[in-house]
Structure 1
Amino acid sequence: MPVRYKTCLLIDDNYIDNFVTRKILESGNFAEDIVVHQSPTDAITALRNGSVKPDVIFLDIRMPEMTGFEFLVEFETIEMEEKEKVKIFMLSSSLDPTDMSNSLDNKYVAQFVHKPLTHQTLEDLCK
């Protein structure tokens, strides 16, 4: 299976979730490079300084330092090339319909995905 993206940014404060998601992404040849940040503010810094230039972002919603929605507000202010082409998948264990609705109302969010990420979900995202 060919690699689908050059760089994938995974933002989640939970180490175990990151480990599992990264393994699924790697085994699915999802991206050449998978960059993981447990801190959304560190991810914002990396995006601002250009040290990471993702094609796709998997973003958790519920994080203590900054929520996924707060991240999206900051993302809007970042100047980067082809930002409108970056696909953001909200990856969350939230069952709150408001989270799903708010996610899909954001112009950068391509889809709301329930944790844990599975091979089947990954295949569905790539269709």
Structure 2
Amino acid sequence: MTKPLKTALLIDDCEATNFLHQMVLESSGFVEQIVTKYNGKEAIDYLKTAVDGEYPRPELVFLDINMPVMNGWEFLDQYDLLEDNQKAGVVVVMLTTSFNPADEKHAREIRQISNFQNKPLTEEKLRKVIEDCFPGLLENSITR
């Protein structure tokens, strides 16, 4: 039986958006732990912080584009610079309010981005991400 993902990381500066997305993730049963960071710098700092010699390495990251301090594009540039033991087979989903076709085109050109979605995260959008990137998890999903 396939276990749920250990950790998902939400990177978005909007508290209400993070709350909504956390509820979707929690109700899905796909993720054990959800970590929220409010900009790219907070997220990079989190990924660089080892606990008992282990880095967090979330399996799934939902990343906003437009944020203060460090935006989504800058986060991806900094993520690329992390040591290999600070990153894993992470699936990054660009989750944004941007309807600018240039943003989606740019996102599809970046190898770290597995999926591009418009906010809000819904159960259907999450299922599509899980289906495409973690197909074994669907066997354990809660059907509604």
| TM, length-normalised to structure 1 | 0.92
In structure 1, distance between residues paired with 2:84 and 2:103: 26
What's 2:137 paired with?
none
What's 1:11 paired with?
11
What's 2:42 paired with?
42
Superposed structure 1 runs of 4+ greater than 6 Å apart: none
RMSD of the alignment, in Å? 1.6
The 8 Å contact of residues 3 and 32 in structure 1, kept in 2 or not, is answered as no
Structure 2: runs of 5 or more not aligned: 132-144
- The Cα shift of 1:81 comes to 2.6
The 8 Å contact of residues 3 and 29 in structure 1, kept in 2 or not, is answered as no
Letter paired with 2:119: K
2:24 corresponds to 1:20: no
Q: How many residues align?
A: 126
What's 1:108 paired with?
112
Greater C-alpha radius of gyration: 2
- The Cα shift of 1:3 comes to 5.2
- The Cα shift of 1:92 comes to 0.3
- The Cα shift of 1:98 comes to 0.9
What's 1:74 paired with?
78
Structure 1: runs of 5 or more not aligned: none
The 8 Å contact of residues 57 and 87 in structure 2, kept in 1 or not, is answered as no
The 8 Å contact of residues 8 and 56 in structure 1, kept in 2 or not, is answered as yes
What's 2:91 paired with?
87
Residues 48-84 of structure 1: CA distance to partner in whole angstroms, max 9, x if unpaired? Answer: 1235321110000011211100100000001143835
The 8 Å contact of residues 39 and 69 in structure 2, kept in 1 or not, is answered as yes
Determine what percentage of the aligned residue pairs are the same residue. 36
What's 1:29 paired with?
29
The 8 Å contact of residues 60 and 68 in structure 1, kept in 2 or not, is answered as yes
In structure 2, distance between residues paired with 1:96 and 1:12: 18
Assess, with a 3 A threshold, how the Cα gap between structure 1 residues 19 and 86 changes in structure 2: closer, same or farther: same
What's 1:122 paired with?
126
In structure 2, distance between residues paired with 1:59 and 1:122: 14
The 8 Å contact of residues 84 and 108 in structure 1, kept in 2 or not, is answered as no
What's 2:141 paired with?
none
